[in-house]
């Protein structure tokens, strides 16, 4: 996903990127393999190290608008289930240019489901 880097916050643990995206603003844990310049747009990929459970950290939604948002302890993502592989891994579409694999409890989700995820901040890492 193309993200505009607003800045990088260091200290107190893992560095965090403050990013502006076409679908919102967020502060994400960062794994960068090169120096980054605030104000530039970069192609980030996400890893999500949390198991999705319907009714707990994943909720079906009537909204059909991709979104990323945050509060003090969590990151919210809104998107849809693009595919589910035989092992139950969900391919979650967060935007037209962003597809992320997420582990999920079996038989809870269907292809085409729009979901709103509320995930612990430490479970999401942005890679570049």
What is the model's pLDDT at position 58? 97
Torsions phi, psi of 84, nearest 5? -135, 125
Contact of 15 with 1, CB cutoff 8 Å: no
Looking at the whole model, is its pTM more than 0.85? no
Spans of all domains in the chain? 2-127
pLDDT tens-digit readout, 102-115? 999 999 999 999 99
Contact of 95 with 79, CB cutoff 8 Å: yes
Residue of 45 and 12 predicted with greater confidence: 45
């Amino acid at each position: 996903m193309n993200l505009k880097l607003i800045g990088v916050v260091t200290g107190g643990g893992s560095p965090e990127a403050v990013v502006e995206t076409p679908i919102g603003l967020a502060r994400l844990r960062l794994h960068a393999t090169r120096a980054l310049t605030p104000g530039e747009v970069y192609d980030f990929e996400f890893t999500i190290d949390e198991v999705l459970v319907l009714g707990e950290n994943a909720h079906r939604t009537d909204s059909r608008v991709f979104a990323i948002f945050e509060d003090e302890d969590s990151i919210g993502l809104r998107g849809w289930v693009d595919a589910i592989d035989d092992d139950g891994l969900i391919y979650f579409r967060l935007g037209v240019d962003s597809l992320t694999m997420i582990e999920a409890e079996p038989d809870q989700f269907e292809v085409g489901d729009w979901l709103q995820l509320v995930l612990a901040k430490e479970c999401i890492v942005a890679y570049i």
